[in-house]
Amino acid sequence: MSGTMFEKIWARHVVAEGPGGHVLLYVDRHLLHEGTTAAFGRLARSGRRVRRPDLSFATADHYLLTSPGSATSDAETRGMVEALERHTADQGILYFGVGDPRRGIVHVIGPEQGLTVPGITLVCGDSHTATHGAFGALAFGIGSSEVEHVLATQTLWQKKPSTMRISVDGRLGPGVDAKDLILAVIATIGAGGGVRHAIEYAGSTIRAMSMDERMTVCNMSIEAGARAGMIAPDETTFAYVEGRPLAPRGDAWRAALEEWKALPSDPGAVFDREVRLTASEIAPTVTWGTSPQDALPITARVPDPMAVADPGRRESMARALAYMGLAPGTPLGDVAVNRVFIGSCTNSRLDDLRAAARVVKGLRAVVPAWIVPGSGLVKRAAEAEGLDRIFLDAGFEWREAGCSMCVGMNGETAAAGERVASTSNRNFEGRQGKGARTHLMSPAMAAAAAVTGKLTDVRTLGP
């Protein structure tokens, strides 16, 4: 019987079956950040040890400030970072901590270090763990009590989701990249379109993407409500993983390759739902509301809620426009922005910084603009290419690695009423600061907004 990639990985990790369709899954990798210190505390109070410290890996990312020379914004968050360092040292867990050049956003350093490989189950107490599915892994976010369960048992109770395949074929046009593609996907199926599903992205467009681009696509699967997002491993995947510090080597590498090549969904595999998009129909995209599904081509106008038949959707659109301070019919290209943020686990990798640098080279930012690399190693690589000088010469702030303004829980926020052109993954009310208004877009589009002071079609700025 033909199987999907998800079904193959799921079946290999079932330890036991339980009531109500739940199964106990074995966990191959457990990633941790300072937000998981409460789980460590509960584990310690129960007198338990981490069952497999060699399969857990930690970093500090959410609460650290990214302004050079700074640590955390207050005593409480500083205590969380310090507690993570103590717990990981006590339990023998590898920790990429403050001062470690490898430290960075958990979903950037996992692949970077070779922790993320095809065929594994990977969990983290963070909703955007789906990022790692770009490698053909089954990766998903878990809650604090589940973090404790994995620490203690290296297993997790889960209910098997349905499967969905989203196929995108053709070539993306100029100025269009992976962020535009995933925003178009979410706009098509809706913020709840992937609920109770594991999504596999397929098609010639996906196969042509770099690993950085694939991670952007899988990262935002959660914004469509999906449990996981996955892309079949191929030669692009293997070339990225090979030689990474913690990746298999020698005979182990050759054996792993044989297993990984058998992972892609079989030709006759049946999915519970199929969705198809055409790459040439996707344009540079921005969000206008307070959900990632509120996305349109930059050439469009702010939609009119009164033109929508569904009363629930009409009401939510009206509320979103009121919060965003936008009037129906306004050309999106006329919307002024107050600041720009380029970073987050969605768009802070080297490919992302290169795309932004190509746009701003020789130009000047007319609004405050931050560049926040996803890890210390991304920062160093960008500096080796001279990208930092391009950004600094253009008036951008070149900052340390971390989550920064994406989540707004570390003091790095926009002010109430400020409009932010952001490469992050969520535009919810208050996400980037109380009263802040977020427009999601690609790094190139955010860079274009920085040098024009408004939402701008990057294709109008030249080749």
Angle in degrees, CA 19, 25, 30, rounded to 5 = 140
* Structural domains of the chain, with CATH: 5-273 (3.30.499.10), 284-461 (3.30.499.10)
Radius of gyration (C-alpha) of the chain in whole angstroms? 21
SS3 189: helix
State mean pLDDT over 211-229. Answer: 98
Eight-state DSSP code of residue 223: G
- Stated as kind and residue range, the H or E segment containing 14 is strand 14-17
Phi, psi for residue 270 in degrees, rounded to 5: -110, 130
**Residue 269 in tokens:** 């595999």
DSSP secondary structure, 324-370, as one string: HT--TT-BGGG-B-SEEEE-TTTS-SHHHHHHHHHHHTT---SS-EE
pLDDT at 1: 58
Tell me: the pLDDT tens digits for 143-180?
999 999 999 999 999 999 999 999 999 999 999 999 99
Claim: this prediction has a pTM higher than 0.85: yes
Of the candidates 110, 145, 127, 136, the one whose C-alpha atom is nearest the C-alpha of residue 29 is 110
Predicted confidence (pLDDT) at residue 118 exceeds the cutoff of 90: yes
Number of residues in the chain: 463
Which pLDDT does position 68 carry in this prediction? 72
Judged by phi (left if over 0) then psi (alpha if -120 to 50, else beta), residue 384 lies in: alpha
Q: What is the pLDDT of residue 409?
A: 81
